Structure 1
Amino acid sequence: MLALIGLLTILSVVVLLLLGRASPLLALSLVPLAGALLAGFGLGEISGFFGDGLRRVMQVATMFIFAITFFGVLQDAGLFRPLIRGLVALTRGNVVAVTMGTAVIGMLAHLDGAGATTFLLTVPALLPLYRRLGMNPYLMLMMLATGAGIFNMMPWAGPLGRAAAVTGIEVTELWRPLIPVQAAGVVLLLALAALLGLREQRRIAAAG
């Protein structure tokens, strides 16, 4: 019964958020509270659950706040813009190089671990180049998203932080075994980018 109530609580939160019927703050606070009351827990027990949960995620949340603020300041200061401009200038006119450069840019831009800032930083810089070369913008999005996905396994990114909060294991301990996986992912992504770039080059040539 408890598992069923938990599942219904999660589904209710998802439905409310997808339909826009409640703000995330309300949905994520009131719905679990209602679910806990429905499961027969008292207010004292629920308050203990909240306290335990806050203690478990406080360290990770502090790291998230620092990482987002730190890298956000670096981006606002323009630290990453010369890197991106250099890659754009280096690959200009070569479809294969542009595709591979897009993958590299996606990985570099996602060093802050925040997906929104990654796409806000890269798409405005790359979209005019893709349009000028007649390249498919979906290819750009695929390369950026895949590159960001590989670097989303950094210690300060969301997935490892949430895993650390749940398991109680230090986030760096979780990350170390993933370093070879990330390295292999980078190599495979660059190979995929080269293949898709060649295909895009042939498509553009055939289109005239």
Structure 2
Amino acid sequence: MLSIIGLITTAIVVILLMGKRFSPIIALTIIPFLAAIVAGFEMSEIANFYESGITKVMGVAVMFIFAILYFGIMQDVGLFTPLIRKMLQITGSNPVAITCGTVIIAAIAHVDGSGASTFLITIPALLPLYKKMKMNPYLLLLLVGTSASIVNMIPWGGPMGRSAIILEVDPTDLWRPLIPLQFVALLLLLALAFFLGLKEKKRIHKLEENIDT
């Protein structure tokens, strides 16, 4: 019964958040509170749940806040700008180099663990280049999203933080064994980007031939 109530509570919270009719604070506090009452827990037990939950997430929450503020300041002062400009210069007008460069740029931009800042940095910088080269913009979204998902396993990233809370371990200890996997995954993604870049190059070449004829 508790599992069913938990699943229903999660579904309601997701629906409310996606509907954008309620504040996340309300959806994430009031709904679980009502669910706990329906499950038959007393007020003292619910208070202990809230206290225990806050204690578990406090350390990770502080890490999130620090990472977002620190890397946000670093981005504002232009720490990553020279790296991104250099990558754009290297890629030039070669679709294969552009797709591979997209993976590297997205990986660098996502060091802060914030998806919003990653897309705000990479999409405005690369989308004009993709349009100029007549490359598929969905390819840009695919490469940026996949690259960010790989780098997102860092300790201050959302998935790692939530996993650490559930497993009750330090996020850094959980991350260390995954570092080699991240490098392997990025290499595999670069190989995929190279393959997709070749296909995109052939598609653009055929498109230009059809226009000429």
Q: Pick the TM interval, shorter chain.
A: over 0.9
Look up the match of 1:113: 113
Q: 1:19, CA displacement in angstroms?
A: 2.4
TM-score normalized by structure 1? Answer: 0.97
1:150-206 per-position Cα deviation (integer Å, ceiling 9, x unaligned):
101111111111111111111111111111111110110111111000000000000
Deviating beyond 4 angstroms after TM superposition, the runs of 4 or more aligned structure 1 residues are none
Gaps of 5+ in 2: 209-213
- What SS is found at the alignment partner of 1:41? coil
Q: 1:20, CA displacement in angstroms?
A: 2.6
Q: 1:18, CA displacement in angstroms?
A: 2.1
Look up the match of 2:211: none
Separation (CA, whole Å) in 2 of partners of 1:76 and 1:59: 26
Separation (CA, whole Å) in 2 of partners of 1:202 and 1:153: 34
Look up the match of 1:151: 151
1:26 aligns with 2:26: yes
Count of equivalent residues = 208
1:58 aligns with 2:58: yes
Q: 1:63, CA displacement in angstroms?
A: 0.6
* Identity %, equivalent residues: 52
Q: CA RMSD in A?
A: 0.9
Separation (CA, whole Å) in 2 of partners of 1:73 and 1:43: 42
Look up the match of 2:162: 162
- What SS is found at the alignment partner of 2:187? helix
Look up the match of 2:127: 127
- What SS is found at the alignment partner of 2:130? helix
Separation (CA, whole Å) in 2 of partners of 1:55 and 1:162: 13
Look up the match of 1:183: 183
Gaps of 5+ in 1: none
TM-score normalized by structure 2? Answer: 0.95
